[in-house]
Structure 1
């Protein structure tokens, strides 16, 4: 091989080597740029994930067939399942909405179009959600949907409670006014009725007096419910208290076939005597009216707690969810205030109420 050819070959090798080095440098530069971009992309992804985790709104995305892709922390909190459990499940299954079971992303968006309020069942607990959905688009084609929702259950409960309180305030003012207007002439009637007794009308007079006492009881309950009650504790003996309660319901027991059994230990109680008596009397009256043959009144000291129990052998209570609501009653001549007053008084006494009921009777337990 001639010297010229060797020089040309050497020059070609040097050119290849230089080109190879340039390509290597370019590759390294591209690799560094790619790593930087990949790092930024990962940073942005984590940032978006943190946003989804941090916001106090449930966010759930689904694919075109309605199956979950993402499920943020708030969504997990609302439904009691984590993201991994939710992923791959159909949205209709998680939300337990029959109309959404097996629905596509487009159908989900149509069903939840705009912002709407829905009630769902989550593991036996009713929850109210403010919910909306929109399509996820890629190149003008639907690639899925995103569902955004807020748990407004507590807010709705507070709203309902406030509406009830407003109505009760108006009713209470009217009831108090009427009660005051009735109480004065009723007191005069109560004084004059005994004068009608000439020895032959005792039964009639007794019936009138019993009716007057019933009206007085309704008026007193109405006034007790509508006015602000202060807590006035005093020290008193348990046995004396039971005797006072028995005296209060004596007329009811006399006119019935029900027998009252008392089970009381002797100890001192420090509480609001009148409020506690109101609790006991109102529950006892209900128990006497419900009982077939007997009512048991029990007052005990268990550790640091005073426990007042009233049990009847009636047919039980069908629905205990509304019995403490004002003006709710299942009785023909009931006012619906007795147990409302009981709950109000127990709250003031900083106690709690427990109820056990069956076809064999009901037990009310007040723990202070």
Structure 2
């Protein structure tokens, strides 16, 4: 009908003047005239009633139109509010610091937020409609979501897993499974919250390592000094004995004694290197120039062992602060271990790149960097040394930086422990990823040196384990 009002045109008729009927000839004609007048009056009355009804209907239509317009406005407002709420909830969903995966009752992925996609290193189109087990590469859900399994999730359920990536890299993930229900408390599916706890686990490993060896370094240093004194006497008497004996067999025995003393002295020197506190220089080093100069020393060694070495210098900010001689020791140890890990031929790839991080757990690991420099994130120079050697088990990987732990028959177990302490004293961090028969990747992260940065006062940086809690 629309909102336009239709005007009612009166349907009344003008009644004739009764006096004009007086001239009628007969009484019968007069009666007919009166009836006609009465008919006109009845018609006019009926017309008036219809007009009144029409006005009433028109008023009702106006009221209904007003009500309909009000309802339309309310509906539009509700739709706008629902869109706003939907947009708000979607922003929360996408901005969550946790990865969120929504799964239906058939176990298939309905939706996944951006954080989860980054953790899984996938695109939304790649995972939607797949089962979670397929995406994670590990069985975290049963093949069928039975009522018994769903019932077990009433209070939620947590589990941890390792997500394998390329180049031997992996992430430690914590999954929290909870039910998704309707307003009528009916099961609609599952919500899986995914948290990357890789850095947290590394912090825990470092804290455990430091706590495990608190005081051990002091004790070892004390024992080393006590052993070194009689070793000096043995070496002195051995040199005197070498002058006294004449036979070749006796000279050979003396040589064995001297070699054993030198081997023990080398072990003690490494032990003291590990335990003694010493200041670290804050020289500005161009790491690309440093690496090119020092990698040349390994050319003959890698050729002799039929190993190919490749380098990809991708970083643009290449300056760090540190002591070149100590850093030589770091790269020498890591590269020697990589070469020795090759059974026959193999490849070592050294890569540098710049990375920015504002990850709180990652920043907490740079304990030697002033808080002012890591409060709002850090610019880092990453060096990765990856080999195609035999790799190592997770049990071995967790212990390779422990002093006196070695998988080599004649190893002292101090080489990588010293490397770890040198890196730590430079305000840097070192990680390792490895799998058996898949090779090993050492990753070093150095703070980039800036001209206007705050340089800490040089104090002896103890290499002894520290009682520091990171979390």
**How high is the TM-score relative to the length of structure 2?**
0.53
Counterparts of 1:32 and 1:16, CA distance in 2: 24
Deviation at 1:127, TM superposition (A): 2.5
The corresponding residue for 1:216 is 265
The corresponding residue for 1:58 is 99
1:83-122 alignment to 2 at 5 Å? 83=124, 85-100=126-141, 102-104=143-145, 107=149, 110=152, 114-121=156-163
The corresponding residue for 1:80 is 121
Query: Does the alignment pair 1:128 with 2:173?
Result: yes
The corresponding residue for 1:33 is 74
The corresponding residue for 1:337 is 414
Deviation at 1:160, TM superposition (A): 0.9
Query: Does the alignment pair 1:163 with 2:208?
Result: yes
Unaligned regions of 5+ residues in structure 2, if any?
1-39, 284-293, 298-303, 305-321, 344-387, 432-436, 438-471
Counterparts of 2:341 and 2:121, CA distance in 1: 42
Q: In the superposition, relative to structure 1, how do residues 289 and 47 fare at CA in structure 2: closer, same or farther (>3 Å)? A: closer
Deviation at 1:210, TM superposition (A): 1.0
**Equivalent pair of 2:171/2:196 in contact (CA under 8 Å):** no
Deviation at 1:53, TM superposition (A): 2.5
**Equivalent pair of 1:62/1:105 in contact (CA under 8 Å):** no
The corresponding residue for 2:221 is 176
Deviation at 1:221, TM superposition (A): 0.6
1:1-368 alignment to 2 at 5 Å? 2-83=43-124, 85-100=126-141, 102-104=143-145, 107=149, 110=152, 114-121=156-163, 123-124=165-166, 125-197=170-242, 198=244, 199-200=246-247, 201-231=250-280, 275=326, 318-319=390-391, 322=397, 325-326=401-402, 327-342=404-419, 344-345=421-422
**Equivalent pair of 1:92/1:98 in contact (CA under 8 Å):** yes
Higher RCO structure, 1 or 2 (CA under 8 Å, sep 6+): 2
The corresponding residue for 1:307 is none
**How high is the TM-score relative to the length of structure 1?**
0.66
RMSD: 4.3
Q: In the superposition, relative to structure 1, how do residues 330 and 191 fare at CA in structure 2: closer, same or farther (>3 Å)? A: same
Bigger mean CA deviation after superposition, 90-99 or 50-59: 90-99
Counterparts of 1:60 and 1:281, CA distance in 2: 45
